[in-house]
Amino acid sequence: MKSHARVVVVGGGVVGVSTLYHLARKGVQDCVLLERKELTSGSTWHAAGLLPLFNLSYSVGQLHKYSVALYKTLEAETGLNAGFSQVSNIRLACTPDRMDEYRYYAGIAKTIGVDVRFLTPEQVKEIWPLADMDGVIGAIQHPDDGYIQPADLTQALARGARMRGAEIHRNVTVTAITQKPSGEWLVTTAQGEITCEHVVLATGSFARKTGAMVGLDIPVIPVEHQYLVTEPHPAIQQRKRNGLPEMGVLRESDASYYMREENGGLLLGPYEVGAPCCYLNGPDKDSEYELFQPDLDRLLPYIEAAIKRVPAFAEVGIKQVYNGAIAYTPDGSPIVGPAWGKRNLWLNEGHSFGITAAGGAGWQLAEWIVEGEPSIDMMGVDPRRFGPYAGAGYLKQKTEEAYAKVFSIHFPEEERGAARPLRRTPSYDRLKALGAVFGSVFGWERPGWFAPPGYTVPEAELAIPDVLLNTPHDTPADGSAPRERWSFRRNNAFPFIGAECRHVRDAAGILDMSPFAKYTVSGPGAEDWLNRVFANRMPRKPGGIALCHVLTKRGGVLAEATIFREAEQDFYLVMAGAQERHDWDMLQKLAPRDGSVQLQKVTTQLGVFVLAGPRARDILQPLTDADLSSAAFPWLTGKPISVGHAQATALRVNFVGELGWELHHPIEMGATLFDLLLEAGRKHDLRPFGMKAMDSLRLEKSYRVVGRELSIEYGALESGLDRFVQLKKPAFLGRAALAEAHAAAKNRFVTLEVHGVTDADARGSEPIFYRGELIGRTTSGGYGWRLEKSLALAMLRPDLGEPGTELTVTILAKDFKATVIAESPYDPRNERLKA
């Protein structure tokens, strides 16, 4: 074993080996993989090998697509057959909501370039004659999909890596990982030490144990998963003899299982409610090719559902049951990317569909390591999307929930109930009493919308088809009746959200935005450093506010901040709550180490209320001595003020496009301040509003959001951030790429009015066509209540971005006419904001 390498990958499952393969493909020959036992002896060997392309995430979808395409080429490249059976994959729908989910997905798939077809029950029956079509209303099929032999796939990737000079050492356990003062890593094993520049952890069920070696609490806990294989069935054997093709992978999503042929018999894998976490303290040191005792009782309802669908399943004996560990994260997506707080330490952990994701995850991680950034927006799988709140107790509940919900309908507004409430702001109980229907972000409870007193989902909306997996509504933690019936279409909350929007336009609303991430940057070097990190220029005078973005090397957008200059050397940054760990890690890694700049995270020290609407000044003025007139307190400025006997830093900005202030206050004064504002607001009819109203209001202002219109996949100028990018500044991150990127722009940000929508607005990721040709995708969408128009924000071919251009948007498999309209269709001159 060599003593020095550029990269050491820890873990020889499919994920680690794919990472090694892709590093070698990127030209990093000097890389080494260490596996404590044999390759694949963790979770990989016992996987069912399915490669589902289906995924509602634009980024994970791209990773899966890449994997499937790569795996087909491995034999030609390495000479090893990975056992790819392209038998196609059918997903059944037994409820209208499920059909909507497929329709929505089909739009995403179109934008990614994944082939999806709709099938009638009769067409499914032709392909799967052993299946009964009772209750099936439709289906989708992925013709490119199928299954693979996981161990053979891993060996093919391993050979591909070795062919390019990478080394693999088996039976070598990594016992310690430490960073030297030089920044290099020292990887210790019983067989010696390796000094290296980068370390990648791909240790499956061992993730928390390996994380502990480097002081990281990695948010991964495995869950038990079982599948059953039957004896051969005569009908399947007969099909084989007749030369008929395999029937393909069948998924009955509404009954939460997959089924496929296996050696003339059938393989059934349910995702059941009640599957327990396992390896809470990590697997044993001798664990190898480990399986748990089967527990068929737990599977019974799913087996019964499978038998109802495919009676042949009951006609043959069960040959074998596999019960093995699958790593899970709280949201079910893997964690792929840099470790927080450590340089050159990378995580490729938490894979629950690791056979499917390994190719794409290895590809993007290798790009990240070698080129400094990935080319696909990886926010949905970034390890930093969870925070320190995700401790072991939280993880146990969330990973079991994520497992049980693998097949649940992923409604756009779905809010999962486990481990909630966790982080509450001081106004939580007050908001709850006012009818808040909460959502959760980064562990915080945030009001989504407000239901009237005693309101529950109307009976008619709750008529739920009789399928095994069906909870299309919120389940309040206190056991009260559901208040929101989730849907891909406008739902029961729609009119209430509309009333909130109109109230903010006509009177005033208050929104608790305390989960915003907040940081202070100070010191003699603060202004210079911020000007080098962000594309916009820092406000020149204390009291000024600027909207600023951090760009990638290629000119894409990584993060957004509202920056308030508190004093000559003191800046206050307000950034996305969900990205707190990501942005904090990014800022810390970029900060100079010469003591000229001090960074502090103050998220939990400060709460934020948004007070917005034409009566905002009338409400706030009597509570403060500060002059709130526009002359004394113009738009885009801020200052500390007293509010009654409480205090706040008032920033004259908001994300809704009305007169208003954000009141950043000591969090311990939150309840007092809320009461003061509500009391003062009584005669002005101040009412609370939620995040969903805010989302509608920001659409009408064409305000962009990171992860949607702003992404590393789109150049900042493509996203229309011209006025926030100061190309005249001498240097800032991504500047060099911008001029080049602009000339070669492939996309342009636009606002669309969508015509003829009656029940399903765009939501983001719908495909956009011009004369039948795919020319872009929506990034957000919804109903604009102030304009009374269905709207969408979109990225599309630059020559088609002129106002007036007529396009077609496909929403839930139906085409709608859409027109490009001028940006900020509501109050384009910002007169209301500046009033």
Ligand X SMILES: Cc1cc2nc3c(=O)[nH]c(=O)nc-3n(C[C@H](O)[C@H](O)[C@H](O)COP(=O)(O)OP(=O)(O)OC[C@H]3O[C@@H](n4cnc5c(N)ncnc54)[C@H](O)[C@@H]3O)c2cc1C
Alpha-carbon distance of 795 to 237, in angstroms, equals 51
Q: To the nearest whole angstrom, how small is the minimum distance from the Cβ of residue 228 to ligand X?
A: 10
Q: Residue 409: which residues within 8 A CB-CB, separation 6 or more?
A: 95, 97, 98, 101, 253, 472, 486
**Interface stretch with ligand X, choices 156-164, 307-315, 351-359, 548-556 (CB under 6 A):** 351-359
Confirm if 379 and 439 have CB atoms less than 8 A apart: no
The one-letter code for the residue type at 322 is Y
Residue with smaller CB distance to ligand X, 222 or 523: 222
How does strand 773-784 pair with strand 789-796?
A: antiparallel
Distance from C-alpha of 803 to C-alpha of 751, rounded to nearest angstrom: 9
The partner residues of 188 in beta bridges, in order of sequence, read 176, 193
Give, for 784, the enclosing helix (H) or strand (E).
strand 773-784
Footprint of ligand X on 117-176 (CB under 6 A):
173-174
Binder of ligand X out of 31, 32, 41, 151 (CB under 6 A): 41
Comparing CB distances to ligand X, the nearer of 11 and 107 is 11
- Minimum distance of ligand X from residue 395's CB (angstroms): 17
Nearest approach in angstroms of CB 663 to ligand X is 46
Candidates 197-205, 519-527, 607-615, 802-810: pick the segment binding ligand X (CB under 6 A).
Answer: 197-205
Among 203, 253, 536, 649, binds ligand X (CB under 6 A): 203
Q: Which of 7, 21, 23, 35 binds ligand X (CB under 6 A)?
A: 35
Which of these segments, 31-39, 73-81, 753-761, 762-770, binds ligand X (CB under 6 A)? 31-39
Q: How far is the C-alpha of 664 from the C-alpha of 683, rounded, in Å?
A: 24
Which range of residues in 34-42, 528-536, 688-696, 744-752 is near ligand X by CB under 6 A?
A: 34-42
The amino acid at 397 = Q
Among 5, 7, 9, 16, binds ligand X (CB under 6 A): 16
Residue 25 CB, nearest distance to ligand X (Å)? 18
Looking at residue 217, the DSSP 8-state letter turns out to be: -
Binder of ligand X out of 37, 319, 489, 532 (CB under 6 A): 37
Binding track over 454-493 against ligand X, x by CB under 6 A = ----------------------------------------
- CB-based burial of residue 671 (10 Å sphere; 0-12 exposed, 13-18 middle, 19+ buried)? middle
Contact 425, 667 (CB under 8 A): yes
C-alpha 532/C-alpha 554 separation (Å) is 16
Chosen residue from 103, 233, 260, 351 binding ligand X by CB under 6 A: 351
Pull the structure tokens for residue 690.
Answer: 């939620």
3-state secondary structure at position 364:
helix
Amino acid type, 193: E
Helix (H) or strand (E) holding 446: strand 444-450
The least distance separating ligand X from the CB of residue 316, rounded to whole angstroms, comes to 20
Q: Which of 14, 303, 376, 641 binds ligand X (CB under 6 A)?
A: 14
Given a contact cutoff of 8 angstroms between Cβ atoms, the answer to whether 348 and 200 are in contact is: yes
Site stretch for ligand X (CB under 6 A), options 200-208, 431-439, 447-455, 478-486:
200-208
Q: What angle do CA 274, 280, 285 make, to 5 degrees?
A: 130
Asked if residues 630 and 835 have their Cβ atoms less than 8 Å apart, the reply is yes
Number of CB atoms found within 10 A of residue 806's CB = 12
Helix (H, G, I), strand (E, B) or coil at 610: strand
Q: Which is nearer to ligand X, 227 or 826 (CB)?
A: 227
49 binds ligand X (CB under 6 A): yes
- Name the DSSP letter for residue 155: H
Nearest to 11 by CA among 361, 401, 530: 361
Binding range to ligand X, per CB under 6 A, among 36-44, 273-281, 406-414, 796-804: 36-44
205 binds ligand X (CB under 6 A): yes
- The stretch near ligand X (CB under 6 A) out of 92-100, 346-354, 400-408, 488-496 is 346-354
Structure tokens at 205: 């069920």
Q: Which of 303, 316, 323 is nearest to 252 (CA)?
A: 303
Stretch 721-750 residues interacting with ligand X (CB under 6 A): none
Interface residue with ligand X, options 66, 105, 346, 353 (CB under 6 A)? 353
Contacting residues for 600 by C-beta, under 8 A, at least 6 apart: 519, 520, 522
User: Is the Cβ of residue 11 or residue 767 nearer to ligand X in the bound state?
Assistant: 11
352 contributes a contact to ligand X by CB under 6 A: yes
**3-state DSSP assignment of residue 369:** helix
Select 262 or 662, whichever has its Cβ closest to ligand X.
Answer: 262
User: Per-residue string for binding with ligand X, 219-258, x by CB under 6 A?
Assistant: ------x-x-------------------------------
Please identify which residue in 9, 22, 31, 46 interacts with ligand X, judged by CB under 6 A. Answer: 46
Specify the pairing of strand 185-189 against strand 174-179: antiparallel
Site for ligand X in 555-574 (CB under 6 A): none
Interaction mask 298-337, ligand X, x per CB under 6 A: ------------------------x-xxx-----------
Kindly determine how many residues on this chain lie close enough to bind ligand X according to the rule CB under 6 A: 40
Binding site for ligand X (CB under 6 A): 10-16, 34-37, 41-44, 46-50, 173-174, 202-206, 210, 225, 227, 322, 324-326, 351-356
